[in-house]
A and B are shown apart, each in its own frame.
Chain A
């Protein structure tokens, strides 16, 4: 078997995607252990994509990761980056060109945030002015005001801020490849959600080749362009896109790992901008005369109308009872309900559903980057997506059953 055959074997290769990291039969056996921690891992990671390694605790994710930047030396196998065998290069030099983020952040506690972020550029011998400029640029990128934070120490930051600095530090020397080992694993769920979203936005700009490790399938589905579901010893159970994992899991191990609610999980993959949102909701400007507003509402099939402020931003939901009171003189701005459920087009349907459930109104308002009204997503829209996935899933299982029948027949 040639190397290329081995490499081409697992996982989908999307048209146009260029392989960046190729792991070939990577094996690590720790001294004194019966089983290899990583056994013959062969995986191709495409340039500019986030590839997630997901699997239960102890299945070998961290070991696999550390084999790539050679914190652990492989027992056998090869690591090719950009076609070049990394197994025999200088490991320190190699690591300076691979961004590395770990769950515990590992920020240097005795150094300021600026010094932490500037570590790798310093090792690479950049001059002071260039490092300082780069540090400020990166702090901006991860949403931290450089003037406020550059002189602080890690202990003076919250957990979420520390992990932002960890990400900035990994990006400092603009490495083509990043390794992230459960980077958001130790952060509270709300902050984690925010960091995930911000990181995805950041990745749109920087387009790094990223290997992202997590034990959380939901995080994997959210972050991954491609996901390798691992079983023990880093054996790949399935290497596929998130959509395919949800609709066509390779076996029981994978579907068990994805767990119940695969179709609900699909909501994490669909973004508001990708679906048909309702644009027929009645709207009117706050300055419109009440009689006219009422006419708009009556002409629609809706029970509530969305009032927009002068800049086109959603202001309040009002129904016909509110409008009746408005005719008696109450100001429109004091009637109805404030608009609480608001998302931007890049939000996932899961976000939209969350907002919807938390609000008193049966739908979530979609606004553009400036906050101007775009349309609404209601429960019906979301249910349609869920149903589509379930249908696809059932079709897949049916197809699998049909495919097995003739084979069974032959055996008998």
Chain B
């Protein structure tokens, strides 16, 4: 069976796995954002906590991915949950560090003027600092997403969903004539997904960044 034949026959299956993969990435990124953004804000505002937070978020990236996936199996069982937990941790560092960098890059004069006009700390964060830091934060999210799309393929090892299933099915059936097709098919799916999400980020960036800071 040629690769083209494989693709036409397995198109539906690959699409389904691709959607599972996307789902896994989006859920993990959602959690990473919900945790990383506040952590970044705290790290920016509190000089004492800044380094511990950044070091903590950085620590997860140094762990081998298989190890990180496996750590959660005793607690969360197998399947999607340990995968999501591990991927969220991987996604954390770029989000946290870019949030800190972005907030730190806001001009002190702008911060001072906002304060001087009577904005509360929360108003200043929401209306001034986050919008101005947004392009940098978004870059962090984009980098995280790319990292997570790739690593998510390994989720199949802990019984997780996604395109990794196809890749590892191919790797396990070495010697079988169609095995390479499975590996290439899964990999192609990952690449296409990465390109699509990257294009989505270009669009999101345009739509969510003020013309004044573009």
Interface residues of A (CB under 8 A from B): 69, 71, 92-98, 100, 102, 104-112, 119-120, 123, 153-155, 169, 179
Closest-by-CB residue of A relative to B116 is A100
A sample of 24 cross-chain residue pairs with beta-carbon separation below 8 angstroms, ordered by A number, consists of A69-B116, A71-B116, A92-B118, A93-B118, A94-B118, A95-B117, A97-B118, A105-B113, A106-B113, A107-B110, A108-B113, A109-B107, A109-B210, A109-B212, A110-B131, A111-B210, A111-B212, A119-B117, A123-B119, A153-B210, A153-B211, A153-B212, A155-B213, A169-B117
Interface size on B, residues (CB 8 A): 22
Known: A104-B107, A109-B212, A110-B213. A123 touches B112 (CB 8 A): no
Task: State which of A109, A120, A153 has its C-beta within 8 Å of the C-beta of B118.
Answer: A120
Q: Which of B111, B116, B128, B212 has the most CB of A within 10 A?
A: B116
Known: A153-B212, A154-B212, A155-B212. A110 touches B132 (CB 8 A): yes
Judging by beta carbons under 8 Å apart, are A106 and B109 in contact? yes
Task: State which of B109, B111, B117, B211 has its C-beta within 8 Å of the C-beta of A105.
Answer: B109
Residues of B111-170 contacting chain A, CB below 8 A:
111-120, 123, 127-128, 131-132
Judging by beta carbons under 8 Å apart, are A112 and B119 in contact? no
Known: A110-B210, A112-B212. A95 touches B109 (CB 8 A): no
Judging by beta carbons under 8 Å apart, are A102 and B109 in contact? yes
Q: How far is the CA of A155 from the CA of B211 in the complex (A)?
A: 10
Q: Which 4 A-B pairs have the closest CB atoms?
A: A106-B113, A153-B212, A96-B118, A104-B109
Q: Chain A contacts of B212 at CB under 8 A?
A: 109-112, 153-155
Judging by beta carbons under 8 Å apart, are A71 and B132 in contact? no
Judging by beta carbons under 8 Å apart, are B113 and A107 in contact? yes
Q: How far is the CA of A155 from the CA of B123 in the complex (A)?
A: 23
Q: Chain B contacts of A104 at CB under 8 A?
A: 107, 109, 113
Known: A108-B128, A112-B212, A153-B211. A120 touches B117 (CB 8 A): yes
- Given contact pairs A105-B113, A109-B212, a sample of 6 additional A-B residue pairs in the complex whose CB atoms are under 8 Å apart: A96-B118, A108-B110, A108-B114, A108-B132, A123-B117, A153-B210
Task: State which of B112, B120, B128 has its C-beta within 8 Å of the C-beta of A71.
Answer: B112
A36 nearest CB across to chain B (Å): 22
Task: State which of B114, B123, B131, B211 has its C-beta within 8 Å of the C-beta of A106.
Answer: B114
Interface residues of B (CB under 8 A from A): 107, 109-120, 123, 127-128, 131-132, 210-213
Q: How far is the CA of A92 from the CA of B117 in the complex (A)?
A: 8
Q: Chain A contacts of B117 at CB under 8 A?
A: 95-96, 100, 119-120, 123, 169
Q: How far is the CA of A111 from the CA of B131 in the complex (A)?
A: 10
B212 nearest CB across to chain A (Å): 3
Judging by beta carbons under 8 Å apart, are A109 and B213 in contact? yes
A11 nearest CB across to chain B (Å): 26
A103 nearest CB across to chain B (Å): 8
Q: Chain B contacts of A120 at CB under 8 A?
A: 117-118
Q: Chain A contacts of B123 at CB under 8 A?
A: 123
Q: How far is the CA of A119 from the CA of B117 in the complex (A)?
A: 8
Q: How far is the CA of A37 from the CA of B123 in the complex (A)?
A: 30
Q: How far is the CA of A92 from the CA of B110 in the complex (A)?
A: 16
Closest-by-CB residue of B relative to A110 is B210
Judging by beta carbons under 8 Å apart, are B107 and A106 in contact? yes
Judging by beta carbons under 8 Å apart, are A123 and B113 in contact? no
Q: How far is the CA of A92 from the CA of B109 in the complex (A)?
A: 17
B87 nearest CB across to chain A (Å): 32
A104 nearest CB across to chain B (Å): 3
Q: How far is the CA of A107 from the CA of B120 in the complex (A)?
A: 17
Task: State which of A92, A102, A153 has its C-beta within 8 Å of the C-beta of B112.
Answer: A102
A371 nearest CB across to chain B (Å): 39
Q: Chain A contacts of B109 at CB under 8 A?
A: 102, 104-106
Q: Chain B contacts of A95 at CB under 8 A?
A: 115-118
Known: A92-B119, A110-B132, A123-B118. A100 touches B213 (CB 8 A): no
Q: How far is the CA of A154 from the CA of B210 in the complex (A)?
A: 12
Q: How far is the CA of A179 from the CA of B211 in the complex (A)?
A: 30
Q: How far is the CA of A105 from the CA of B212 in the complex (A)?
A: 16
Q: Chain B contacts of A154 at CB under 8 A?
A: 212
Q: Chain A contacts of B111 at CB under 8 A?
A: 106
Q: Chain B contacts of A112 at CB under 8 A?
A: 212
B70 nearest CB across to chain A (Å): 44
Q: How far is the CA of A153 from the CA of B212 in the complex (A)?
A: 5
Closest-by-CB residue of B relative to A91 is B118
Q: Chain B contacts of A92 at CB under 8 A?
A: 118-120
Q: How far is the CA of A98 from the CA of B118 in the complex (A)?
A: 9
Q: Chain A contacts of B213 at CB under 8 A?
A: 109-110, 155
B207 nearest CB across to chain A (Å): 14
Q: How far is the CA of A93 from the CA of B118 in the complex (A)?
A: 6
Judging by beta carbons under 8 Å apart, are B132 and A109 in contact? yes
Q: How far is the CA of A112 from the CA of B131 in the complex (A)?
A: 13
Q: Chain A contacts of B113 at CB under 8 A?
A: 100, 102, 104-108
Closest-by-CB residue of A relative to B124 is A92
Q: Chain A contacts of B114 at CB under 8 A?
A: 106, 108
B113 nearest CB across to chain A (Å): 3
